[in-house]
Structures are given as structure tokens and as C-alpha cells.
Structure 1
Amino acid sequence: MSAFSCGVDELDNFFQHEVEECVRRRYLSAYCAFLDSEEIVAAFTLMNDALMISSQTEKEDFIDDLKLEVDADIIEFFNRQSSYPAINIGHLGTSVNYQSKGIGTAIIDLVADTFAEYRQAGCQFITVDALNNPRSIKFYHTNGFCPQTSKDISSATRRMYRIL
């Protein structure tokens, strides 16, 4: 991973210096994507998560947003829950040499397809803590993610989710 660079200092530092310890301590699982060469074209991590709604107002907003995406009979089921099992894409970076070629979208689709079919444990959503910059937010929004809350609009990261 020492040669991997996605051009974002925080992500590059994580993949080059921290990911190994996180994997060793079972905090997350890390994956690399390769094309025909030995060059890493993308790296990402996955970890168990839960989408938690902290207030009644946020829950009402969340349920209203879900009404646009799921069948009405599912809404009551979601409304009875206080937390929602999820898989978190903790870090996702595409090599600077391969950006804007659909690799990040392919990884998100792979995770979504895998966990939509995975029946070992419950998983209703994919979550991300996206870097709060226009490019990252647009990328995740284009890939079907919605902000979970407006409380983090000025934070370094935005909590976002996508229903499976």
C-alpha cells in the first residue's frame, strides 16, 4: 500500500500507515482492486455498522425519505425499529491514475449486491462517512446515498446512507 495514492492526504495516510493495524485489531476488513497489472487501482474498507436515529424529528425525516424509495408496507416495519443494521464503507479511494473511470461506482455496486444477497446477518443499509467536499458528496449522491442528518453539514465528514 505504500505506493497507493488517491490524491486525498487523509485517505492516503490511512491506507499507507494505519490500515494494517486496523485489520490486525479486527476493527475493519480491507480490500484492494486490481486490473490486469499488480498496480492497486482502488482500496476500500468495510465494517459492521448501524444507522442510528437520535431524535423523533430525525426519525420522521428519515421515514419520509424512505417513503420515496421503498414500498409502503415496509415503512411500518422501519418505523418500529430504533436502529438499522448496516455495512459501512469506511474508506474508499481510487488511484489518481484511474479516477473517473467508474471504479468507485463498481465497488459500491459490488458491496450493495453482496450485502443485499448476504444472509449471514441482517443488513438494511450501506453507510459512509463521506469527506465533506463537493466532489465526494456529489459522488456518493450520484451513487444513491442521502445525508442522514443536517447536523454535520459543517463537519469534516457527512454521514450518508443508501438502502439495500
Structure 2
Amino acid sequence: MVGDGFHIELLGAQDRGAFCSGVDALDRYFRERVTQDVRRRVSNCFVLLDAENQIAGYYTFAAAGILLADLPESLAKRLPRYPSLSAGLIGRLAVERRYQRRGLGALLVVDAVARALRAEPAIYALVVDAKDDHAAAFYARLGFHRFTSQSKRLFIPIGEIAKRLSGQGE
């Protein structure tokens, strides 16, 4: 339960036909392809529903790996020398136009963080692939760090989030 009449749940039989975020690629994916990815277990899709159970936003969430070499040296030197680390990937995230600029995108990220914190297998970080510089700036404001080799791929260590939540990261 999220509050203010909104809640997040796994994508089900909701009508996706009218969803419009203003980003054609995200809208087309959500209307035409997301159920195939879910059925094939490529990713899960979580939807933010308003008080009338209309879709206000969505994000996809999947398992991923990140190369140790792609992390900033200051962080990588404190980690085991495994070639890659496990991660959760927010592959796509969009908010319906009429709900934009209300903090709902951040709310979807918080939900993904909560799911990553509860994950049974260990997840080192949450990763996002920003579609453009504006999206990258959004994630950076939420505390995500850029990978050294890819300016639009960002991450935040789950341990960093856990410290912030417990008040130890201040």
C-alpha cells in the first residue's frame, strides 16, 4: 500500500491501452510487449494504480549483473574481486502524463528498492538505464551513481540504501 489512494501491484489484467507517459518507446513497450517479457520471465512489471485502479505508472524489474571494473575505483576497492556482482535492474519506468511532477516516479523507485532489500538472493546494487540526460539527472537526485564507462547507466548499492534507511548514512 502506498497511500494517497495509490497502490503498487504486479501487472495483471489492467487495461493498458490508454496509458500515455509522453515517451512513445515506453508507452509502446507497455501496451504491446511487457506481457511477453513477464510471461518469458525476462522481467516483472509493477504498476502504480490510482484510487479508481487506473494505471498511473509502471516499472519493470529484472535480475542483472554489473562488472566490478565498471564501478568507481573508490567503491570497487572495498569489494571482493569477483568479476561481476548481482543487481536488480529497473529496465523501464514511466508515469502517466496526468500524474507527472507529483513524485510518483520516485515512489516507483522506492518500491523497487524495497523489493531489492527483501530479495532472497543477495543483490549488491539497484541499476537503472536512463533514457536521456533528464532521466539520468532524476536518478542522480535520488542518490544513484553513474558507472565509470556509461553515463546513462546508474547504480546505487543496496547497502547504501539500507544505511540511509537506518539513519547510519548521515
Settle same-fold status: TM greater than 0.5: yes
Higher relative CO (CA 8 A, sep ≥ 6), structure 1 or 2? 1
Query: What is aligned with 1:130?
Result: 130
Per the TM alignment, residue 117 of structure 1 is displaced from its structure 2 partner at its CA by: 3.4
Q: Does 1:100 align with 2:101?
A: yes
Give runs of aligned pairs for residues 1-164 of structure 1, distance below 5 A: 1-53=16-68, 55=69, 58-59=70-71, 62-64=72-74, 66=75, 76=78, 78-118=79-119, 120-133=120-133, 135-150=134-149, 152-153=150-151, 158-164=152-158
Structure 1: stretches of 5+ with no match in the other structure = 68-74
The amino acid across from 1:162 in the alignment is I
Whether contact under 8 Å (1:50, 1:85) holds in the other structure is yes
Per the TM alignment, residue 79 of structure 1 is displaced from its structure 2 partner at its CA by: 4.1
**Following the alignment from structure 1 to structure 2, what is the Cα–Cα distance between the partners of residues 52 and 5?**
34
SS at match of 2:42: coil
* Post-superposition CA distance 1:106-162 (Å, at most 9, x none): 1111221232233x10101000111123x2111111111111134x44xxxx21111
SS at match of 1:144: coil
The amino acid across from 1:34 in the alignment is L
* Post-superposition CA distance 1:67-95 (Å, at most 9, x none): 8xxxxxxx53x142221111000110001
**Following the alignment from structure 2 to structure 1, what is the Cα–Cα distance between the partners of residues 62 and 118?**
17
Structure 2: stretches of 5+ with no match in the other structure = 1-15, 159-170
* Post-superposition CA distance 1:13-43 (Å, at most 9, x none): 1101111111111111111111211210001
Whether contact under 8 Å (2:58, 2:108) holds in the other structure is no
**Following the alignment from structure 2 to structure 1, what is the Cα–Cα distance between the partners of residues 25 and 33?**
11
The amino acid across from 1:148 in the alignment is F
SS at match of 2:122: coil
